[in-house]
Amino acid sequence: MKTWIALLLALSLPLTALANSGGEEAEGENAAPKVAYYNLVPALVGNFGPGPKLKFYKADIALRVTGSEAEEKVEHHEPLIRNQLVMLFSQQTEASMSGQDAKEKLRLEALKQVQDVLNQEEGKPYVEDLLFNNLIIQ
């Protein structure tokens, strides 16, 4: 029984040393900035497209930023970002929101709009990528 305990301790010591050494590097001056995903909560919901029949969308969006400064800037300008995205989505047609290629084109346009807003307000785009966690049209 004692040998089993000694064996378990001997095997777990290198693992705890590895786990503890990883934190020291991240706290150093040369540590890479932290990548974060800023979720726009609640999801964007609205109607789109011309015509008498109403069409709706629901978009769960995450913005990829690097560093706490970028995350703070995005959070500060979230109302303006949300407005810009709602305006973009409301101008779409059914063809521009359905299909994989159309959604990718819409995603890139949404990213450009968000970066333009932040460039105008802060002089820097801050957002590196925009992801649709979920995009539903009906």
pTM: 0.76
Task: Please report the pLDDT score of residue 7 as a whole number.
Answer: 47
pLDDT bracket for residue 3 (50, 70, 90): low
Cβ-based neighbours of 6, under 8 Å, separated by 6 or more: none
Task: Please report the pLDDT score of residue 2 as a whole number.
Answer: 58
Predicted confidence (pLDDT) per residue in 24-57, tens digit: 444 555 678 899 999 999 999 999 988 788 899 9
Task: Please report the pLDDT score of residue 40 as a whole number.
Answer: 97
- Mean pLDDT on 53-73: 96
**Which has the closest alpha carbon to 44: 30, 31, 58, 55?**
58
For the cut 60, the answer to whether the pLDDT of residue 11 exceeds it is no
Predicted confidence (pLDDT) per residue in 73-132, tens digit: 999 999 999 999 999 999 999 999 889 999 999 999 999 999 999 999 999 999 999 999
- Architecture of the domain delimited by 35-137: 2-Layer Sandwich (3.30)
Q: Which of these ranges, 1-10, 62-71, 93-102, has the smallest mean pLDDT?
A: 1-10
Q: How many CA atoms lie within 13 A of 64 on its CB side?
A: 10
